[in-house]
Amino acid sequence: MLKISACIAALMMTGIVSAAPISWLDSAVNAEYDNTVEMRHYLHQHGELGNQEYETQKYIKAFLEKQGIKTVTGFKDAPTAVVGIINEEKGDAIGLRADIDALPIKERNEIDYVSTAKGKIFGEETFVSHMCGHDAHMSMLLSAAKIMAEHKDEIDRAVVFVFQPAEEGDSLINPYAADNLPNSGAKALVEDDLIERFKIKHMFGIHVMARQDAGKILISKGATLNSIDGFKIDVEGVQAHGAMPWSGVDATLTASQIVVSMQQLISRNIDLSQGMGVITVGKLHSGEADNVMSGKAQMTGTIRSNNNEIRKVLIKRLPEIAAGVGISTGANVTTKIIESYPVTMNDPKLAENTVSLLQENNIDAEISTWNPGASEDFSFYALEVPSVFMFLGVDKPDTDNAANNHSDKFMIEDEAMKAGVKAHIVAAMQTKLN
């Protein structure tokens, strides 16, 4: 008795929430497992690109309504979103989010449910596949919603199931070709008052990850995923004969100097004791012939950081540095920044409490500092309310060097989804509301 009391006192001192395990959790998730797998395999074969997920929306809406769950659609700038809600009258909701879009990638796995779907990105036909695992995200949340609907009288708050489009970005409008981009994905839902409308107090999300053991859940305190922003830099020089470079303005040389200066921006303008920053040029085109000095160059790339203040510096300074190089060479340089997603931040206390609750329900979870370096628009929810974004390992047992997310051979161990379904239920039912 003394030992138990001491443990309780320690939990109270640390602020960690403790609750009795959910007695029916394992049996309910196991009973639903075959359906969870069936849903994933179906959705895997029928992926759709961002803001074009109309058939996926129909599937989700029909499934939720079959369970007696109220659904809401018709969100501004998120036309394919579906929100389900139980216990709406109880208020003080927990929000659970799954993204629903796929990627413009041709799958190369040899499985009987391989994706052969096609779609259009910016008007160009492409193969489409769920090579980031959003099929699993949908299936886990749908199964969790079904189970919680069956036990809604045991849940003392509202639960909101957010099926969000376009996490990978809008597939209809090329951001570099448009003057004004519409809101999309999580940002669109937030700006359409999702949080206020459904009285959401906390948001939770789960992302399946390669190169982590199947069923293992990792949760960070603080920065969890990096920000992402894009850039396009156009350099206009003066074309000249390659043997007479003094008669023109070399766009290639200017572009090269800009690339080098970007790295100096990282090493000389950023306080790296506060976090990290990365600027990568993914594509650079300049020139037309080997004996002609180029008069035009263009580069596109990505900016990443795990600190929102560092992100601001990079976004501000990159156009300034590019313009300065242009002045020094005599070229005209224009920079377009595509501001996309801020850093995904987990609330530290909520993260600790979530891990504790998961562990008490026999889910393999731990606090982790692992950051895969990617980015997520879940960050927009986390700007509004204390939130937690979890990583769920999905590698098959004894797998070495598994194909990463966004690879054409990314694979998921279906069994891992049991932990994800459980985590949704525990987070919704046992999280202490602030």
Residue 4 has pLDDT above 60, yes or no: no
Alpha-carbon gap, residue 373 to 394, rounded angstroms: 18
Residues in the chain: 434
Is-same-fold flag (16-225+344-430; 228-341)? Answer: no
Mind listing the pLDDT tens digit for each residue in 223-241? 999 999 999 999 999 999 9
Could you tell me where the beta strands, DSSP code E, fall in 247-343? 277-286, 292-293, 296-305, 332-341
Domain boundaries, the chain: 16-225+344-430, 228-341
Residue pair 104/170 in contact by the 8 Å Cβ criterion: no
Fold of 228-341: Alpha-Beta Plaits (3.30.70)
Among 10-14, 291-295, 299-303, which is the least confidently predicted range? 10-14
Q: What is the DSSP letter of 69?
A: -
Alpha carbons within 13 A on the beta-carbon side of 349: 14
3-class DSSP state of 348? helix
Overall average pLDDT of the 152-160 stretch: 97
Residue 107 has pLDDT above 90, yes or no: yes
Overall average pLDDT of the 104-126 stretch: 97
Please state the φ and ψ torsions of residue 172, each to the nearest 5 degrees: -95, -35
Residue 271 has pLDDT above 60, yes or no: yes
- The percentage of the chain sitting over the pLDDT mark of 70, rounded to a whole number, equals 96
Alpha-carbon gap, residue 406 to 378, rounded angstroms: 18
Overall average pLDDT of the 258-263 stretch: 95
3-class DSSP state of 258? helix
> How does residue 269 score in pLDDT terms, banded at 50, 70 and 90?
confident
pTM for the full predicted model: 0.92
Overall average pLDDT of the 3-28 stretch: 67
Residue 421 has pLDDT above 80, yes or no: yes
Mind listing the pLDDT tens digit for each residue in 170-203? 999 998 888 777 789 999 999 999 999 999 999 9
User: Packing angle between helix 348-360 and helix 417-430, nearest 10 degrees?
Assistant: 110
Instruction: Tell which residue, 179, 172, 171, 144, has the closest CA to residue 160.
Output: 144
> How does residue 33 score in pLDDT terms, banded at 50, 70 and 90?
very high
Q: Give the residue carrying structure tokens 């504790």.
A: 356
Mind listing the pLDDT tens digit for each residue in 305-358? 999 999 999 999 999 999 999 999 999 999 999 999 999 999 999 999 999 999
Residue 103 has pLDDT above 60, yes or no: yes
Overall average pLDDT of the 118-142 stretch: 98
Per-residue pLDDT, 400:
84
Alpha-carbon gap, residue 338 to 262, rounded angstroms: 17
CATH code of the domain occupying 16-225+344-430: 3.40.630.10
Residues with Cβ within 8 Å of 351's Cβ and at least 6 positions away in sequence, in order, are: 219, 220, 221, 367, 388
User: Packing angle between helix 54-66 and helix 134-150, nearest 10 degrees?
Assistant: 20
Mind listing the pLDDT tens digit for each residue in 60-98? 999 999 999 999 999 999 999 999 999 999 989 999 999
List the beta bridge partners of residue 339: 229
Per-residue pLDDT, 378:
98
Overall average pLDDT of the 116-134 stretch: 98
